[in-house]
Amino acid sequence: MPRAARRKPGRPAARKGRVDPRESLLDAAARLYTGSGPHSLRAVAAAAGVTPAMVHYYFGDRHGLDDALLERALARVLERVSQVRRLEDLPATVAQAFAAEPWIPPLLVREVLAEGGRFRRRFIERYASNVARLMPGMLEAEITAGRLRRDLDPKLAFVSLLGMLGFAFIARPVMEPVLGLRYDAAFVARFAEHTRRLFLEGARA
């Protein structure tokens, strides 16, 4: 009987029809973040139904897991935003992206915005720069077409709109108990429409 071919060392092969273990670990980490913030690698492994050694194999340590989690999420957000063709669709797109993965804003604060954030340079080069080229350009096109005020600065307008959308999710832990808000699907839809009207009615020609 011929001997079975030995698999070369390296990343474990995903069996046909089964979820990639690395993706399962990222999904488990995202669920834990959504609940109560960062967890130990052991807790992530337990949530994914694997051993802690598997987490170390794919990510090395807590920082490696955070980086991979943030990179996957930001790639998804960028993909959504890059598909927006109309300015009026942007608020709903951004709000839904943050609502779908609510752990992104606090992780951004810690790993990107905080002094010494380890992910800042990569975030600027891979994600922020792309969005910064896309959105002000869309605003400038609207100004040129006469649909937005000619005295509007595209870059400042972009900062204002992003601040209106992003702060609500960064400040969610405070806004929910203080204002009695519940960040469910109905709230996200109302908030996106409110922001769209607030911005566009002030910016329209």
Domains of the chain, each with CATH number or no CATH: 61-203 (1.10.357.10)
Banded pLDDT at 157 (limits 50, 70, 90):
very high
Please give the Cα distance from 91 to 96 (Å, whole number): 8
Query: Strand, coil or helix: what is 169?
Result: helix
Q: What is the mean pLDDT of residues 23-51?
A: 81
* Residue 125 scores a pLDDT above 50: yes
Q: What is the mean pLDDT of residues 75-84?
A: 83
* Residue 53 scores a pLDDT above 80: yes
Structure confidence at residue 36 (pLDDT): 60
* Residue 184 scores a pLDDT above 90: yes
* Residue 6 scores a pLDDT above 50: no
Q: Which residues sit opposite 148 in a β-bridge?
A: 204
